[in-house]
């Protein structure tokens, strides 16, 4: 029923100024529009609505994720810009925060200004 429909991802913010900079300037997403209710970005034909709210309760799991071609390059670039990557107990991550999955993929996690957990995944070649 929905396989030909465009996906829209949602995440919440109580810090719209910081979120606009984070998603737009740091992550490089295209700003589509902003209203009193949301900041809307586009990421490779997917719409991401950053909903404005008084309070955010970030879930303990990944809210949004991107598949990337060169995770080490992106992690290095974002780290140089001040982004901190998460380290998780029980996962053997390198010093930069990249986990090498047993299937050969690589994953790193970061948080947006409201604490929403985001991921970057480089699939197994």
Question: Which residues have CB under 8 Å from 16's CB, separation 6+?
Answer: 34, 39, 50, 52
Mean pLDDT of the chain: 97
The model's pLDDT over 28-58, given as tens digits with 9 standing for 90+, comes to 999 999 999 999 999 999 999 999 999 999 9
Long-range contacts of 30-34 (CB under 8 A, 24+ apart): none
Question: Average pLDDT, stretch 79-92?
Answer: 96
pLDDT band at 122 (very low <50, low <70, confident <90, very high): very high
| Contact of 96 with 70, CB cutoff 8 Å | no
pTM of the predicted structure, to 2 decimals: 0.94
Q: What is the CATH number of domain 8-122?
A: 3.10.180.10
> Where exactly are the structural domains of the chain?
8-122
Looking at residue 125, its pLDDT comes to: 80
């Amino acid at each position: 029923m929905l396989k030909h429909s465009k996906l829209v991802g949602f995440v919440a913010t109580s810090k719209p100024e910081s979120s606009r900079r984070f998603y737009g300037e740091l992550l490089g997403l295209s700003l589509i529009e902003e209203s009193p209710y949301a900041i809307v970005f586009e990421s490779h034909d997917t719409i991401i609505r950053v909903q404005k709210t008084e309070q955010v309760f970030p879930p303990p799991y990944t809210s949004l994720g991107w598949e990337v071609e060169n995770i080490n390059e992106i992690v290095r670039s974002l780290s140089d810009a001040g982004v901190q990557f998460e380290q998780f107990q029980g996962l053997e991550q390198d010093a930069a925060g990249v986990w090498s999955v047993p299937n050969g993929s690589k994953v790193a996690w970061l948080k947006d200004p409201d604490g929403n957990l985001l991921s970057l995944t480089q699939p197994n070649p």
